[in-house]
Amino acid sequence: MSALCDPPGAPGPPGPAPVTHGPAPLSAQELSQEIKAFLTGVDPVLGHQLSAREHARCGLLLLRSLPPARAAVLDHLRGVFDESVRAHLATLDESPVAGPPHLRPPPPSHVPAGGPGLEDVVQEVQQVLSEFIRANPKAWAPVISAWSIDLMGQLSSTYSGQHQRVPHATGSLNELLQLWMGCRATRTLMDIYVQCLSALIGSCPDACVDALLDTSVQHSPHFDWVVAHIGSSFPGTIISRVLSCGLKDFCVHGGAGSGAGGSGGGSSQTPSADPFPGSPAIPGEKRVPKIASVVGILGHLASRHGDSIRRELLRMFHDSLAGGTGGRSGDPSLQATVPFLLQLAVMSPALLGTVSGELVDCLKPPAVLSQLQQHLQGFPREELDNMLNLAVHLVSQASGAGAYRLLQFLVDTAMPASVITTQGLAVPDTVHALRNHVGELCGETLRLERKRFLWQHQLLGLLSVYTRPSCGPEALGHLLSRARSPEELSLATQLYAGLVVSLSGLLPLAFRSCLARVHAGTLQPPFTARFLRNLALLVGWEQQGGEGPAALGARFGESASAHLSDLAPLLLHPEEEVAEAAASLLAICPFPPEALSPSQLLGLVRAGVHRFFASLRLHGPPGVASASQLLLRLSQTCPAGLKAVLQLLVEGALHRGNTELFGGEVDGDNETLSIVTAPFASASLLDTNRRHTAAVPGPGGIWSVFHAGVIGRGLKPPKFVQSRNQQEVIYNTQSLLSLLVHCCSAPGGTECVACWGASTLSPEAAKAVAVTLVESVCPDAAGAELAWPPEEHARATVERDLRIGRRFREQPLLFELLKLVAAAPPALCYCSVLLRGLLAALLGHWEASRHPDTTHSPWHLEASCTLVAVMAEGSLLPPALGNMHEVFSQLAPFEVRLLLLSVWGFLREHGPLPQKFIFQSERGRFIRDFSREGGGEGGPHLAVLHSVLHRNIDRLGLFSGRFQAPLPSTLRQGT
């Protein structure tokens, strides 16, 4: 009977059938009748044809009573399950309603009776096989699992696409899984396989997993739903055993790179591992490598169980290294692990992405690399070359966040740098993966470590050419903003030289992107300052005729000139190094060929003036070179630019925040007034006015109460004077005046600017300074009449005169600015209101002074001398009157007042009007001929001076020659 049921050469049964609570054991005669009925399909007693249900139950009875018949019975049960699936799908095709089985209507009457009736037989099959598995799992689980998994594969392939209710395998995996798990037959097969796997999971589940791999190879992709369900149920076991079985098959078949597993041709003579060759396994299937199935199964599990797959792959890698050198290892699977993992990564980018991140970390310890080197020593040279090619291919295919880490690991490990090659790197995946790491790559390149930076620099060029949009502008911007030395800066010029041919508009894009980052605040101030300084260095190199980066400097100069409106705000940057770097760039940056718009010009001038005073405050005169050069260039662009520069410079110098730079007093009117009046809160201006309604306005009247102090409370306390070194004040003043002189210099006269010669200063520029002085010191008198009024008129302007005198005392810079204006006649005429106010204030002081000499009022003495000297320099006084200040220090206060009154009288008769000046071409300046004005040499106004000299003849006799009017003959000869 055994010979009838088992195929030739099959080994003996694993053991008797388990003892069950089913029917009683059959006698030999009954058993013979059951065998005959099973083989013929006819009832031996009644002689009729057995139904599908009766035939299946006959087979189950033989399976219980005659174990050697299991192969034939299991093969017959395939048809039972196939008929059940066909009936289930026919029911779905006829049903207009889709959904779970319990919600569908009953099957139509024409469906074969055997179909739905087989469900109880399917249930009986599950019960019998479950009893066998529970009774002897080691013997029955491998056989039953192989049968059930292979049957599921056949059913999935057979009915895929043949019925409208069965979706295509390439469609939704969830729909396919719901369909097959809704069928009683396939769900039963799945439960049987899961029971087998659960029974062997603690001992040796390789047989179950091996069957799963075989079926997956043969029936994929229709079989994917089975893999997805089983993998989700046993992720840890399936992942580890699938990899283990795949590795064993890789060794047997001699896969790519596995030279340690023996010859691939010998696998065809290897006897089948199945103890029951009569089972439905096909021997030829063993010849098909299972690595493709391993890739497919792990690919299904990677989305939800990526961490488990990564841990298992890394565990296999470390276990293979711990096994020793490949050539001396006794276990072929350990030697084949590295080639196997490489082949997996090549076939599955998903697995490569899963493991690439942590692979870099596990390779970083030197001990691991040393073990890997020892492990690969036993491989033949050909196989090492194959694995190297695979590794290079994988590196080029790396993408995502792990690509840059992998590249950094290779660069750090590849020492010396001569072993680094560029073959295989120009691959789109790698290029696009490194696109987001351009900044880090630029930082590594600028470290200039050995020779590796040359390769990194080539990689930057590669990325710039092959990425879309190109990262060339970004890379160039990073290099320019991070270079800290000429050697590092040369990398930017070299990158530009390599890309200028293939990338159009590279520099404008780089400049625009960097400025956008600056204004957005994403570029840190140190990098912003470095970017601007490097640009200034390149532009300056080009202007000096340097070689190498000259072309880049010229191009960047053009780009910078097109973005002056964006660069100007950087002069106001809160970080000092950024503002100073911007000034250095703009000082040498070429202006656009077309004229600057008024808004651009005024914005640059305002920012440049602010930068000038900020640098003067923080760094002193040596730090204003860039700002001075920028303002000088702006003043030369057009007349409007000159006027704006001069006006803002003068206004800025006289501003209360900058007065102390030039020796001025801090404006503390509000503070001192509040201090004075704080203890006397009862003081009322209204009450004071009521008590002085009959007072006549005058220098000591109510209108000057807040100039001198509070009535009844005494004078104001003196203002606080900033304690700044006198040498520093002189140095600051000379820096400002030097800039003003250079701006006011007439064309062609710049060679003598140091001497302030009249021929070097433009009268129009000096006039702009004079007008700005009047507007800054006394705005209400701007545009006043230039003619000199009588001395009595000063009583009506006493408040304005006092204010002007106070400003001159608080800001000594005003005298220096007057000297500058006086050097370019007739510009001083436009300061007439200031001169008149200051002279009136000095007259008032000397009239009130009761000291025997002028040395007790040092400031007023110096102011009187300077005022007369300035008016003489500006040709408002003739030489004889203009020299009187030389004797002021030797006179009494009343005598000084008399001489100043004579000056007032002269200016009243000979007003300071510009039309009295004529241009003398041979001297290149405007001059005033006093001899043609009638008494313009001094005449009667010198009588007071001569009287004072006669009264002090003992001390001033030597000065008498300085105050003689020229003879008429001399005047005629001079003319």
Give the tens place of pLDDT for each residue, 709-761. Answer: 667 777 766 665 556 788 999 999 999 999 999 999 866 444 444 444 444 78
Residue range 629-682, pLDDT digits in tens:
999 999 999 999 999 999 999 999 999 889 899 988 765 444 333 433 344 445
pLDDT value of residue 936: 55
Question: Confidence band (pLDDT; 50, 70, 90) for 785?
Answer: confident
pLDDT value of residue 701: 43
What mean pLDDT comes out for the span 429-437? 68
Question: Confidence band (pLDDT; 50, 70, 90) for 84?
Answer: confident
Calpha distance 315→301 (Å, rounded): 18
Q: Which of 35-44, 162-171, 822-831, 899-908 has the lowest mean pLDDT?
A: 162-171
% the chain with pLDDT above 70: 74
Q: Determine the residue type at 470.
A: S
What is the radius of gyration, based on Cα positions, of the chain? Answer: 53
pLDDT value of residue 95: 66
pLDDT value of residue 551: 57
pLDDT at 370 over 80: no
What mean pLDDT comes out for the span 177-204? 83
Question: Confidence band (pLDDT; 50, 70, 90) for 863?
Answer: very high
Among 1-15, 562-576, 956-970, top mean pLDDT goes to 562-576
User: In which residue are the tokens 């079926």 written?
Assistant: 215
pLDDT value of residue 284: 37
Sign of torsion, CA 638 640 646 652? negative
Calpha distance 128→18 (Å, rounded): 10
pLDDT at 96 over 70: no
- The secondary structure of residue 258, as a DSSP letter, is -
Question: Is the Cβ–Cβ distance between 923 and 937 less than 8 Å?
Answer: no
Calpha distance 73→56 (Å, rounded): 8
pLDDT value of residue 689: 64
User: In which residue are the tokens 């970004």 written?
Assistant: 474
Name, in order, each residue with C-beta under 8 angstroms of 949's C-beta and a sequence gap of 6 or more: 887, 956, 957, 959, 960, 963
What mean pLDDT comes out for the span 197-219? 78
pLDDT value of residue 211: 80
Residue range 895-946, pLDDT digits in tens:
999 999 999 988 988 888 888 888 888 777 888 887 777 665 666 778 888 8
% the chain with pLDDT above 90: 20
Q: Could you give the dihedral angle defined by the CA atoms of residues 680, 685, 687 and 689, in that order, rounded to the nearest 10 degrees?
A: 140
pLDDT at 85 over 50: yes
Q: Which of 69-73, 102-106, 758-762 has the lowest mean pLDDT?
A: 102-106
Residue range 158-167, pLDDT digits in tens:
887 666 666 6
What mean pLDDT comes out for the span 294-317? 79
pLDDT value of residue 206: 75
pLDDT at 412 over 80: no
Euclidean distance between the first and the last CA atom of the chain, given in angstroms as a whole number: 156
Question: Is the Cβ–Cβ distance between 103 and 63 less than 8 Å?
Answer: no
Q: Which of 445-459, 667-681, 792-806, 818-832 has the lowest mean pLDDT?
A: 667-681
Written as six digits, the tokens of 503 are 């990338």
User: In which residue are the tokens 């000139």 written?
Assistant: 561
Please state, as a whole number, how many other Cβ atoms lie within 10 Å of the Cβ of residue 839: 26
Name, in order, each residue with C-beta under 8 angstroms of 962's C-beta and a sequence gap of 6 or more: 880, 883, 886
Written as six digits, the tokens of 321 are 């290294």
pLDDT value of residue 654: 92
pLDDT value of residue 23: 55
pLDDT value of residue 297: 74
Question: Is the Cβ–Cβ distance between 465 and 503 less than 8 Å?
Answer: yes
Mean pLDDT over all residues of the chain?
76
Q: Which of 332-336, 563-567, 818-822, 918-922 has the lowest mean pLDDT?
A: 332-336
697 or 766: which carries more pLDDT confidence? Answer: 766
Q: Which of 169-178, 804-813, 852-861 has the lowest mean pLDDT?
A: 169-178
pLDDT at 485 over 80: yes
pLDDT at 878 over 60: yes
**pTM to 2 decimals?**
0.58
pLDDT at 311 over 80: yes
Name the residue among 488, 600, 467, 578 with its Cα closest to residue 533: 578
Calpha distance 752→314 (Å, rounded): 81
pLDDT at 13 over 60: no
pLDDT value of residue 894: 92
The total number of residues shown for the chain amounts to: 975
Calpha distance 516→555 (Å, rounded): 19
CA 895 to chain centre: 74
Q: Write the burial class of residue 350 (CB in 10 Å: 0-12 exposed, 13-18 middle, 19+ buried).
A: middle
Q: Which of 235-244, 273-282, 364-373 has the lowest mean pLDDT?
A: 273-282
- The 3-state DSSP composition of the chain as helix, strand, coil percent (nearest 5) reads 70, 0, 30
pLDDT value of residue 374: 77
